[in-house]
Structures are given as C-alpha cells and as structure tokens.
Chain A
Amino acid sequence: MNNEIPIWRIKYLPKNLDEVCGREKIKERLKSIIKQGNFPHLLFVGSEGIGKATLASLFSKEFLGRFYDANFKLIYANVPLTEEERKLARAEAYVSTSKIGSIAGKRITTPAFIQVKVKPFVQLKVLGEAPFKILIVKNFETLGSNQQGFRRLMEIYGSNCRMILITTKISGVIDPIVSRCQLFLISQVDLDSFKELMNKIANNESLEMEDGIIEILYKVSNGNISRAIDILQLSSIRRKKLTKNNLDEKKITKNILYEVAQKFQNDLVGSLLLMTLRGDFPKARELSRNIISNYKYNPHELFNLLLNELNKLPLSKFARIQLINLIADADFRAIDGLDSDIQISALLAKICLFSEHLS
C-alpha cells in the first residue's frame, strides 16, 4: 500500500487536540478537564460539519491515554440497524425460562438500537486503569423517542461510562437529557485560524493562491473544514490541468475555486430547484430520481434541502411563502405516504405550475 494518503482531508486530519484548528477557549476547557481527570456527561452543540465529533474523539483519546482503544466507542444515531443487529436484538430481548425472576419467559421491551449498540458497551466494566469509559453518540437528536431510553442509562451506568452526546439541534434533544449534561457550544472556526491551516496545507503541497482565495473558501465551505480541504485539493488538480501548456499561471484563481465548489451536492439540489422553477417537469423528475438514488435521502431530507436552497434565491416575499407552503404540504403528506417518489414528483409538479405565475 502506498504510504502517501491521496486524500488531503484524511492526510490533514488533526492527530491531537492541539492540532485542531482554532477554538482555543473550548480546547482550554477540555484540557483543564483532562487535568482534573473527571467530567460529567457532555453535550456538544454546533452546526453541521464544523468538527464536533473530531474534537470529542480527540478529547477522549487524550483523556483515556493508552486505555483509549478498550474504553472508547463512537456510535451514529442516524444509521439504521442492519438485519443481523435487528435479529440479535430480538434474540436478546427474550429472557429464557431457565432464568429466575419475574421476567423469566418474557420479552424485554428495550428499543433495539439501545439493546444492540449502547447497552453492551455501557454495561461492561472499565478495562485497565482508566477512570471510566467514554461513549460518543453522534447525531443524537435523530434518536427521537429512543432518547427516553438514555435517561436511565445515563444514571445507572453513569459511574461506569460517561457519554458525550453530539447534536446539531439542541431543540431536538429532550429536556431531561439536556439537564443531565454539561453543555458545550462549539463555534465555527474563526477566519484567522482557518487561514493559518490553509496556508500550512498550501505550503506543504506547494500551492500558490491568489489573494482573497482563502476568504472565499471560508465562505463557500461554511466552516466545514473537511469540505474546504476537499475544494482546495480539487482546485489544485484543476489548476494543474489548466496549466499544462501555460506554466505562468500557477496560482489557484477564484474562477477555478468557484467552478470546483459548484460540483458539490447542495448545488445539485439547487439546480433541481432552478430546473423546476423553469417549468420542465419531466427533466426535473429525472434529476430528483438521480439525486435520491445517489445520495439516498429520504423525502423529508430532500424537502429540507429544497427549503434551504429556496431561501438563497432572490424571490419576492409572496412567491417565497407560496413555495414554502408547497414544500410544507408535500412534507406533511410524505409522513403518511408510502411511495416517496410520488410525493416528491407531486411537489415538483406543483412548483412547475407555480413557476408559470412567476414569469
């Protein structure tokens, strides 16, 4: 295997807390916790893709030291269980009649997710000399009603295992959980630290950039460092291609950057909205099907993305509220509907119709 990692975002992944870009205050707080050697359950809140999980796992790594591997687990709340895991949950839920106690011969009604992914880890004793285990739950708000199951778990097994819950929407986390945790608000990386990191990468990869490129990158990537690095890497490849014959132009220009940034997914949904507003239903449906099969969004997610894109468009107040009305109606119907393709097509058809009134 080649030692050189061909993907920059992995190559420049921070290896410890110090390497994490910016956010000094939070790092300081985390470091003082490490010094004290004890902390309550934590709740990390912050917008999407800004590095909450990276911070949390690096923090755990430093906190647990050499006992990290045995006492650490990261689970994703929004990834559905596989068939085997479901089977396992069903099998484990049954208490054999050979056991003594009132529940013998009955089924335990713990949610499958908690039964399979959480319980086995938190119930197991700490290995080695670490004070306790650490469990990170990402996208905690997507657990929905399963959050209730965490309340007791956090109390019963709290001394054995501390949890770091990560969420983008604190409103999606139920109050009893919030009250059991210490809150950490994670902010976006500030421009200065962002510049520092990008310059470091540019130096390493011997890139030259036009002035003001990093500022644009910062805006385009919305504080998502991985995305920013992705864009940088693609721009550098694009530049090499452009300058094969013409070696004077070595710098990454704004044009290249914009061109690359456009290829990313949100723009696909954006172009879907534009195409629909142009009133071509068959083509819009084709594109929406493409998006769904590639990115595997459920209809609710797609509607949300459309809503985001809608807010970026220059539309009149009236038009905007009409379109939001349409999206809301479609999302509402999709809750009970069986065929998501029909619901999405219905929304597109209605927007196509609406577009005729616009022009």
Chain B
Amino acid sequence: MAKKVKSVWVEEYRPKSIREMALPTAKVSGHKVDLAEDLTKFVKNFFKEMKRINAENKIIRVYNRTASEKERKEEVKIAPEKAAVLLEGPPGIGKTSIVFALANDLNMEVIETNASDTRTRDALENKLRETVKSRGIMDFVTQSKEKLILIDEVDGIYGTKDRGAVPTILDLIQSTQFPIIMCSNEYKQNLQPLYNKVRKFEVYPLSDDEVIKIAHNILKKENITNLKRGDLDLIVKKNNGDLRGVINDIQGIAQGSTEVDNKDLIFSLHRDTTEEIFALIRDLFQNVSTLREARDLTDKSDVDYNFLYKWVNENLISFIKINKEIANAYDNLSLADEIFGRIRRNQYWALLPYFYDLFAGGTSLAQSRKTSGFRRVTFPRYVVGGAFSLTNAERSLIDKINKTYEISQIEAIQDFIPFLKILCSTSRRQLKNVSDWLDLDAKEKKILK
C-alpha cells in the first residue's frame, strides 16, 4: 500500500454507507425509531412530494399568467415537516456521519454549512439560497446529482454575529428544492421556532461496547498493537459515548509515541465533559490554596467561563459552611458578576482578568480551612432572572381569567393567581368550582394545585 497523506482519522474512517455504520439509537417524541430507515424514507418522500408540488405550481403559474390580479392563486409550498428534520444529540456520536453516509448511499451531493461559517442572514442566503431555489442550467443538460443540505451545529447560531439566521432557515425550509437536515447538540431557546416546525430526532450515544468494537477495527487497520485493552476501556469510558473523541484520542496516542502505556498521556488528552466540571469545582474548593493555582486551574480548563461561574454559585455552599466566609465569597462572586455584565454590555474585555480572579480565587480563597472528603456537586439551576417570562400553561390560564376579569399578566402572577392557589388549596370542592368556572384543562389546573 502506498504511503497515504497523513489525515485525521475521524475523516478517514467516516462511514461510507449507512449500512456499514453502527447506528446510534434515536427517538422521536419518546418512541424509538430506526434512523437509517426513517431518514431514507424522509429523503425519498421529499422528492416525491416536491415532484407533485412542482407539477401543481406549474399549472398555477400557467393559470396566473392569464388570470386577473385578483384571481391569481398562491403557489403551493411544501409542508415544513416534510422539508426538513432535526437531529439532536451530544457531540461526536455520528450525526454528521449519518448524513454523509446517507447522501453517499442515495448518490447525492451534500451542501454543508456549520458553525465555522458566519451565519448572518446574508451569508446564509448567499451560500444556500441559490442552490435551494434553483437548479443550475447544467442540471437540465446533464443528469447531475441531487443535493442534500446539511445545516450542522444549528445550536451554534446565536448572538449578534448570526443575527437573523433562524428566520432565514425557516424561510429556506419553506422554499427549498432539496431536503434539509439540521444537526444540533442541545436544546436552545432561540431555536424554538424551528422545533415547532420540524420533526426532531433525539439521537443517543452508542454503547461503550460498540465504541470499543469500532476502535478495535481502526487499531487493526492502522496496525497499532501497543494500546492495551485496559487503556482503551479507559479512553472509551472517559469520552462517554463520544465516538469522535475516542478516535481522536487513539490517534493522538498512536502518533504521539510508540510506547503507549502512559495513562497521564491519556488524561492529558481529555475532552470537555460534565465530569470535568465536577472535578474542576472540587479542585477549586478543596485543593487550591493560592491565587496562582486558582488562575492556573481556570486557564487550563476549556470549560466555558460563561457557565463556570454559575457552577461556582450553585456549589459554593456545599464547600463553605461558615457564614462569614460565605458572605466574603459572595461579595467577590457578585462583584465578578457585575464586572462580567459590564464586559458583556460595553465590551470592556480588559476587565476579564478581574472577573476570573474574583469568581475563582475570590470564592475559593475565602475559606480559612479547606474541606476534605467527598462533597456533592450539582448542576446549576437556571433560575429565570431579569425578563418576565411565562410558561404556556400560565399564559393560557391568564387568558382565561381575562375573559371575565381584566387584569395584567404581572398582576395575575403576583396577586391573583397566588390567591387562587390559596383558595384552591383549602378544599377539592373549591378547586373544582374555580376550574369549572374558568373552564380549565389539566395543565392549568396543575398550576393552581
């Protein structure tokens, strides 16, 4: 075999066909589905549907040409759930691979956009709109490949940088000539309009056994024999179903040195997972004793600081128990939060070092004596802050109240609904009276219970 150009194994071993890959399990609104079958069906149905709609539109266009302005008919558009699907799941489990394998199987071409492209309205439109709307002139002459549009990492769309991207994607879904598959890692509030329109596949990580099997195959092909079985297990476990992470790790080890039995090396290659944050928080409060150490800790970790200081807020009290120290720690943490607010609002990035030192060092060093032993670390609970936000049930409850009793949303939440809660808690009959009178459904009733 001729010496190949060194490439990333992840790309090299991307499955060529959907049949040869280990498919992760997927669920649609709680029901297990076969990803390969469903996606193939989706693409095939799309083209069938498109053919029908195009034929219909052709007739409408011919009709419109002769009809007067008033009598013109709207052109038919494809239903969003038939034009696009969304794959949601943790990183590295093969969402993108499935799409490429699928395209390969169906002999299609993939047009991809991901978070590395800026996705403002204009940029997205430039890249996709032409391919989406029209078929090139060559397509009529030669039988070219059909196209599949992949919008990868949609959850990476946010902020002012990608302004207007979500509405553009929604527009695209309405006017597309090719099927669209979107991938995303997690639920994002600003993508809600998308979730409402398209079918969402929840994709779950592969089991460790499957990952090990795939890793073994790669090791065999690359002729690497010096990776011990135990170390491979360790890598797989640490990556927590992230197949891409595993492949990257073993490549790093294999190419780093020929003597691969060094566990430290494996640990130095670790990825950002929740486990890491847990460990980091414990380290911060239990092992750090100087400001320099605290700084090193936050510098080294790849955990998003946006996020890290909320973890500190949530878990501070499981490590610090003395009121004086809690107050000191919180004094620093709240100042850090204020500074961070100013940084974000006014772009004073020069203040960032203070933010780091205050939220990490400032909280950890407030302890006079370190705790030892295991302490529970929990996820930050995101308490709604700032904006006044209502759940759907609350909103519909207020609407129903407003039919007979005009009251603003804020008055309802802060004054009237608390009263209703007290009233309904007195007896079941009262609850029934109120809910009959307002004609409530189960969800709205639940608020009052």
State the A residues within 8 Å of B (CB): 1-2, 5-7, 9-10, 13, 49, 57, 74, 76, 78-80, 138-139, 226-227, 230, 233-234, 237-238, 241, 263-265, 279, 281-282, 285, 289, 292-299, 330, 333, 336-343, 345-346, 349-350, 352-353, 355-356
Contacts and interface: CB of A to CB of B under 8 A. Distances in A.
Interface stretch (B5-13, B109-117, B430-438): B430-438
A298 B383 CA distance: 11
B186 interface: no
Contacts of B317: 281-282, 285
B334 A340 contact: no
B375 interface: no
Interface stretch (B49-57, B61-69, B228-236, B323-331): B323-331
B324 A353 contact: yes
Given A6-B433, A292-B383, A353 B326 contact: yes
B337 interface: yes
B344 A338 contact: yes
Nearest to B333: A342
Contacts of B427: 237, 241
A333 B358 CA distance: 15
Dominant secondary structure at the B interface: helix
Given A295-B418, A298-B388, A333-B334, 20 more contacts: A2-B436, A49-B415, A76-B408, A230-B419, A241-B426, A264-B419, A281-B317, A292-B385, A297-B414, A333-B337, A336-B338, A339-B385, A342-B334, A345-B334, A349-B323, A349-B330, A349-B331, A350-B327, A352-B323, A353-B326
B437 A234 contact: no
Interface string B393-414: 0000000000011101111011
Contacts of A80: 387-388
B327 A78 contact: no
Contact of B414 (A285, A289, A295, A341): A295
Nearest to A333: B338
A296 B418 contact: no
B75 interface: no
A354 to B, nearest CB: 8
Given A10-B405, A353-B326, A339 B414 contact: no
Contacts of A349: 323, 326-327, 329-331
B313 A339 contact: yes
B437 A1 contact: yes
Interface in B298-329: 309-310, 313, 317, 323-324, 326-327, 329
Nearest to A281: B326
Contacts of B330: 342, 345-346, 349-350
Nearest to B167: A87
Question: Which of B324, B386, B390: most chain A Cβ within 10 A?
Answer: B386
Contacts of B344: 338
Contacts of B345: 336
B409 to A, nearest CB: 5
Contacts of A237: 423, 426-427, 430
Contacts, number: 154
B106 to A, nearest CB: 38
A179 B429 CA distance: 52
B332 to A, nearest CB: 9
Nearest to B322: A353
B141 interface: no
B426 A293 contact: no
A295 to B, nearest CB: 5
B310 A339 contact: yes
Interface in B21-78: none
Interface of B: 309-310, 313, 317, 323-324, 326-327, 329-331, 333-335, 337-338, 340-342, 344-345, 381, 383-390, 404-406, 408-411, 413-415, 418-420, 422-423, 426-427, 430, 433-434, 436-437, 439
Contact of A2 (B310, B323, B342, B437): B437
A339 B383 CA distance: 9
B386 A298 contact: yes
Given A296-B384, A337-B341, A281 B422 contact: no
B405 A341 contact: no
A343 B332 CA distance: 11
A314 B236 CA distance: 62
13 contacts: A1-B437, A5-B437, A7-B420, A9-B419, A238-B426, A263-B422, A264-B419, A296-B414, A341-B385, A345-B313, A349-B326, A352-B327, A353-B326
A7 B434 contact: yes
A350 B331 contact: yes
Nearest to B336: A342
A336 B422 contact: no
Nearest to B382: A341
Nearest to A5: B437
A331 B5 CA distance: 61
A294 B341 contact: no
Contacts of B413: 295-296
B313 A296 contact: no
A52 to B, nearest CB: 13
A281 B333 CA distance: 16
Contacts of B386: 298, 340
Contacts of B409: 76, 79
